[in-house]
Amino acid sequence: MKRVTTRPTAPSPIGESVPRRDGPTKVTGSATYTVDVELPGMAHAQILRSPYAHARIRSIDAEAARRHPGVVAVVTAQDLPDVNLLYGHAIADHPLIATGKVRFAGEPVVGVIAEDRATAAEALRLIAVDYERLPFVTSVEEALADDAPIIHEEPGEQRSHRGFEEDIERTHPNVCSHSRQAWGDIDAAFEGAHLVVEGEYRYPMCYAYAMEPYTSVASWNEGALTVWSSAQHPYMVRDDLARCFGLPRGAVRVVVPFVGGGYGSKSYTKIEPLTAALALRAGRPVRLALTVDEAILTTRGDAATVRVRSAFDADGHLLGRHGAIHLNTGAYAENSPLVGRKAANRLGGPYRIPALQVDCSTVYTNTGPASSFRGFGAPQVTLAGESQMDEAAELLGLDPLEIRRRNLLDPGERPWPRARGIDADLKADLELAAEALGWDDPLEPGHGRAICMSASDAGSEPITTAMLRVHADGSVTVMVGSTEIGQGSSTVLPQIAAGEMGVPLDSVHLLQSDTGAVSYDRSTGASRTTTLMGLGIQAAASDAREQLVAWARDAVAQNGAPVVEERGGVRVAGTFHDWGSIVRAWFGADAGEVIGRGYLRRSGATAEMPPFWEIGCVGVEVRVDETTGEIDVLTLVTVGDVGAAINPQLVESQDVGAAMMGLGMAIREELVYENGNLLNGNLFDYRVPRTTDVPELRTIVVERGDGVGVYGAKGGGEGSLNPVAAAIANAVYRAAGIRLREAPFTPERVWQALRERDAGR
Amino acid sequence: MIPRFSLTRPGSIEEALDAFDRAADDVAYLAGGTELLQVMKMGLAQFTTLIDLKGIAELKGISVLPVGTLRIGATSTHRDIERSPLVRERAAGLARLESRIANVRVRNAGTLGGNLAFAEPHSDPATFLLACGASLTLAGRAGRRELEVAEFAVGPLATAREQDEVLVEILIPAARPGEGRAYDKIAFFERPAASVAVRLTVVDGSIADATVAVGSLTDTPVVVTGAGGALQGAPVLGDGFAVALDAAAMALGGVEAMADLNGSADYKRHLAGVLLGRAAGVAVREATAHA
Ligand SMILES: Cc1cc2nc3c(=O)[nH]c(=O)nc-3n(C[C@H](O)[C@H](O)[C@H](O)COP(=O)(O)OP(=O)(O)OC[C@H]3O[C@@H](n4cnc5c(N)ncnc54)[C@H](O)[C@@H]3O)c2cc1C
């Protein structure tokens, strides 16, 4: 890892690569995941899923299953008249269990609760469902045909937590949402153009593969509901549960134990309402633990078709960009309307574009529902945008780096009117990547290099609270609603607290993600936790210190002696008093504590949206095997431009992990539907990258202190995924002279392109 | 979720056959379970009784018979075979092939017998053994019989094995003087996209006879006679060899390949052609070293 640091210094241990706090617990197997939660009297659920992509449910015969020994309850939608079955934070279109019809193969139809999983699984086989099959669509093209079967007869209720303001218009009954991003005079831009490049690019339907499949445990107690779940956003889940069961939010407690990976796939509500409904009918606590195969059917990433035209002047300056994006969103909206909004925002990339018009529709199809997935629209559109930069460079006779230098936004420049100015030095990042990749070094035959970039409006909403308690012995408890999903928040947040309070790291303890115990945070996503929760903790620490200084004046200083704040305490008349001693003095006992509070909203430093820009800057060198069509990614350069790296080692692992995820989707991963069924919904046939696929790594962590967060921090962890497919496509073009526009770039697609190239020669 | 089943652990083939007779209809032999348990988990087959063959001494072990034939007991794991000095010495291509199957966990549990009895069309060893002219022994109520590997697999997941028959051993003939045997595959997922095994004999600098087997393209691995024929008579050095390889690859054009997640029929035939070139080169080197 190379570090480039120009930010102001920060108090230790901020900026230090301290070891992960959750590491030993996880590798020794002692971490408690949701599946390890055991409650007295707990029963186990299994789900009968639809075998058909689109069908009306005529009847369900579950009598034999109900009578099966060991079965506690069998639950269908008809058994839940007292529950609001529809959930969804953007559009409430998703029944927690199929009501009258199924919209994708794999949709939950019946839940069986039994004394153990095996008995529940046996009972599933005793259930007969009579389906009337309906015509189905699995692609956007089919879904938007005039005579396409309609997937949602009634549009779902639009909800407030969509993350964007505009209304959702439906131009076709199968359009789930539509977003437009536009500025400048687009027609004039294209009229005056020296060069227009045009193309259609496709990004596949992918699965995030978190090692832990979705798991929830639900327990009802005197009208209050507690749910343990593998959820990224416990507070959002709480709000959906309150709505489904008609409860006040305070009566719902969502607890998140250790989580085995998220990558966006565990954001928002998933199986929690279903588990809670099953527990309600069972009259007992219920655990629902999905398999990986079921998890694949629960959420995936949005597949995209991106048609783009870019207009350039003779010097390679971008004049305008026009885009039409269609996302294959699957059977339910989930978070795709927001993914669509972001895709529209992100097609412009990190460039100065005088005029832009991008329309993005998310489209319902009879496939598993798509939702948030690391990068969130950016990987999909960056393939298109960054391919066009290289295509234009070639036609204009420019070096791919040079065309980027001419168009990259300057620090502080606004990508679009009213957006926050870019909080990064993009040109400097590009040069760092070029140097690390050896841009000017001679290339072996069959090899190619490329560098691609992206800038994402990230951070979601700055709606965050934090609590920091200093105990009588001086130790500190930090309480946050953000989740440790493997990204390292349980290490980084204590580092910030320790630095801000001036206390040793091992005296800081963190409590996360329990809506009954910790205070509100909107979500753990959009790379926001270190930046926004970091600010929350900084504010809570400052609030705690302020109170402690006042308490010192009150209870420590004699006769109005001046109290001077120092690191970790105060000095009064030459004597140092640490925070714990102030608490003890104020309460007059070895007892009590101070509570510091931090609040963050759209105001002050976080008034402008987005809260920060997330930068992607990735370089690759590839080799193309012309006999088989295989692409070998030999070198991978990542530039983690994170403003301030609270823990550089964790930034590096996030960058490498993100880039490897991007590499998988670029060359191999794709969920394939045939006749309405998922063909490769398992880990045999859906291959994610392995350690043996990792290229030679050259990682750079850049800290210029230019973010809105503590000491200039801003988000990371998604940026290095976004440009990977484009970088590989552009590098393959340089290696073999073939332009790949449809990811994944499978060996066969490469081989076909090579044959077309040779036929054209 | 694996449905409930009962497990018996016979100590001999006799006991295994008795257990088979006693069991109800839905009974199966179990070796490493890497296929069988998966199939049961996915609900594709249901067995209420499993007869575990791993405790039967006669099904174990790797040895060389007096005639030079390599005998591999059916419950030898991929790992046993990969690490066996006898296999490395007498069928180096098989040892290499075994070391490239799946991952070490699967190789530690999965057996050669289970692989052949499952008859997955993308099997690595089945393709190699076919080219080598290997055979196998089955033991059932009706007695013992020996079958060519070529006669054993009759379709995807289907073999000539009677339900009660236990696969006892796999027999690989000793290499003749001047013989080379090589195998190569290309895989994008767990199993190969295409694979090719070549057995050839080199006499006086040219190929006296050759067998080419192709795996993963068709329902069962197949011998492509035209491809072997195209190599026959070719010199092992110079342009003549390259010309023969091209002709052999052309002959693969006639293979009725099936499209799958790895690619189209055309592409898979193309891959087989590439692999044929690689495997033939290795086989020639081995043959010349043995001459
Ligand atoms: C992740 C993974 C990757 C794989 N990759 C590859 C690969 O790259 N190449 C490849 O060739 N294979 C591959 N395989 C397949 C692997 O080789 C087989 O799973 C294994 O060899 C099967 O042996 P087993 O002992 O586990 O069989 P089991 O699962 O125990 O049995 C399989 C079948 O054979 C029957 N059977 C087993 N032994 C006998 C016997 N002695 N007599 C009669 N019937 C018997 C059983 O009844 C059952 O029907 C892979 C498997 C996995 C899980």
- pLDDT value of position A169: 64
Same domain, B216 and B263: yes
Percent of chain A residues topping a pLDDT of 90 = 97
Cβ-based contacts of B103 with chain A (< 8 Å): none
Residues spanned by the domain of B275: 179-290
Residue A170 has pLDDT above 90, yes or no: no
Q: What local confidence, expressed as pLDDT, does residue B24 receive?
A: 80
Interface test with A, best of B35, B260, B261 (most A CBs within 10 A): B261
Domain boundary residue, one of B112, B141, B172: B172
Residue A456: per-residue pLDDT = 98
B contacts of A630 (beta carbons < 8 Å):
186
Predicted-assembly ipTM surpassing the 0.90 threshold: yes
Question: Which of B35, B52, B69 corresponds to the end of one domain?
Answer: B52
Q: Please say whether the dihedral angle defined by the alpha carbons of residues A137, A139, A140 and A141, taken in this order, is positive or negative.
A: negative
Residue B238 region by backbone torsions, left for phi larger than 0, else alpha for psi between -120 and 50, else beta? left
> What's the confidence (pLDDT) of residue A161?
57
Q: Tell me the C-alpha distance between A39 and A218, whole Å.
A: 10
Are B140 and B183 within one domain? no
Domain ranges (residues) in chain A = 1-7+417-458+610-761, 461-606
Nearest to A227 by CA among A242, A216, A235: A216
Chain A (244-263) residues lying within 8 Å, Cβ to Cβ, of chain B: none
Q: Which residues of B134-169 are buried (b: 16+ CB within 10 A; e: fewer)?
A: bbbbbbbeeeeeeeebbebbeeebebebeebbbbbb
Report the pLDDT averaged over residues A247-274. Answer: 97
Question: For residues A534 and A510, what is the distance between their CA atoms, to the nearest angstrom?
Answer: 13
Alpha carbons B28 and A410: distance in angstroms, whole number? 69
A82-106 residue pLDDT tens = 999 999 988 999 999 999 999 999 9
B45 vs A: CB within 8 A: no
How far apart, in Å, are the Cα atoms of B90 and each of A551, B62, B69, B84, B137? Answer: 85, 12, 9, 10, 20
- Are A729 and A383 spatial neighbours (Cβ–Cβ below 8 Å)? yes
> Closest approach of chain B CAs to the CA of A740, in angstroms?
17
Q: How many residues comprise chain A?
A: 761
Per residue in A533-582, pLDDT (tens digit) is 999 999 999 999 999 999 999 999 999 999 999 999 999 999 999 999 99
Instruction: Place A168 in a pLDDT band, splitting at 50, 70 and 90.
Output: low
Nearest CB to B3 within list A122, A627, A687: A122
How distant, in Å, are the alpha carbons of A55, A66, B59, B85, B168 from that of B66?
Answer: 65, 64, 19, 17, 18
The count of other CB atoms within 10 Å of the CB of residue B174 is: 13
Amino acid at A292: V
**Among the partner residues A122, A746, A751, nearest to B270 by beta-carbon distance:** A751
Angle at A506 between CA A502 and CA A510, to 5 degrees: 90
Residue (of A347, A453, A350, A456) closest to A410 by Cα position: A350
Rounded distance, CA A16 to CA A415, Å? 33
- A707: which 2 tokens? 């973010």
pLDDT band (50, 70, 90) for residue A386: very high
Q: Does the domain spanning A1-7+417-458+610-761 belong to CATH 3.30.160.60? A: no
B60 φ/ψ angles, rounded to the nearest 5 degrees:
-100, 175
Q: Provide the mean pLDDT of chain B.
A: 96
What local confidence, expressed as pLDDT, does residue B289 receive?
87
Question: Residues of chain A with pLDDT > 70: what percent?
Answer: 99
DSSP 3-state assignment of A350? coil
How does pLDDT run across A422-471, given as a tens digit for each residue?
Answer: 999 999 999 999 999 999 999 999 999 999 999 999 999 999 999 999 99
Distance CA A219, CA A34 (A): 13
What does each C-alpha distance from A109 to A129, A370, A669, A722, B18 come to in angstroms? 9, 19, 29, 36, 43
A368-402 CB burial, b ≥16 within 10 A, e <16:
bbbbbbbbbbbbbbbbbbbbbbbbbbbebebebbe
Residues A598-611 have pLDDT tens digits of: 999 999 999 999 99
Tell me the shortest Cα–Cα distance from A724 to chain B, in angstroms. 20
Other beta carbons within 10 Å of B203: 12
| Terminal CA-CA length for chain A | 43
From B13, B30, B34, the mutation candidate for ligand 1 (largest count of ligand atoms within 8 A of CB) is B34
Closest CA to A637 of A728, A504, A753, A507: A728
Q: What is the CATH number of the domain that holds B106?
A: 3.30.465.10
- Compute φ and ψ for A182, nearest 5 degrees: -155, 145
B48 and B70 in a single domain? The answer is no
Q: Of all atoms in ligand 1, which is nearest to the CA of residue B37?
A: 29
Structure tokens at B101: 């199957």
Question: Is B249 part of any domain?
Answer: yes
Ligand 1 center–CA B2 separation, angstroms: 17
- CATH second-level architecture of A461-606? 2-Layer Sandwich (3.30)
Examine the pLDDT at A167 and tell me if it is beyond 80.
no
Fold identical between A1-7+417-458+610-761 and A461-606? yes
* Interstrand relation of B206-215 and A631-641 (parallel, antiparallel or unpaired): unpaired
Dihedral sign, Cα of residue A329, residue A333, residue A338, residue A340: positive
Asked whether residue A164 carries a pLDDT value surpassing 70, the answer given is no
Residues of A in contact with B3 (CB under 8 A): 118, 121-122
Q: Which residue numbers in chain B have pLDDT < 50?
A: none
Domain boundary among B151, B172, B193: B172
Closest approach of A68 to chain B, Cα-based (Å): 15
Phi, psi values for residue A296, rounded to 5°: -60, -35
Examine the domain organization and report whether B118 and B78 are in the same domain: yes
How far is ligand 1, taken at its centre, from the CA of residue B252, in Å? Answer: 28
Question: Is-contact A76 A141, C-beta < 8 A?
Answer: no
Q: Which atom of ligand 1 lies nearest, measured to the CA of B36? A: 29
- Give me the CATH number covering residue B236: 3.30.390.50
Average the pLDDT over A513-517 and give the result: 97
Q: How many CA atoms lie within 13 A of A425 on its CB side?
A: 15
Given a contact cutoff of 8 angstroms between Cβ atoms, the answer to whether A665 and A631 are in contact is: no
pLDDT digits (tens, 9 = 90+) for A639-673: 999 999 999 999 999 999 999 999 999 999 999 99
pLDDT at A264 over 70: yes
Residues B44 and B63 placed together within one structural domain of the fold? no
Three-state secondary-structure class, residue A676: coil
Could you give the 3-state DSSP secondary structure of residue A128? strand
Half-sphere exposure of B264 (CA within 13 A, CB side): 7
Is B281 within 8 Å of chain A by CB?
no
Could you give the number of structural domains in chain B? 3
Q: Tell me whether residues A627 and B261 touch, CB distance under 8 A.
A: no
> What are the residues facing A364 on neighbouring strands?
A330
pTM for this prediction: 0.97
Which runs of consecutive H residues, i.e. helices, occur in chain B? 13-22, 36-41, 78-83, 85-90, 92-99, 104-109, 112-118, 124-132, 149-152, 225-231, 239-251, 265-290
Residue B268: closest C-alpha in chain A = A748
User: Domain holding B42: CATH number?
Assistant: 3.30.43
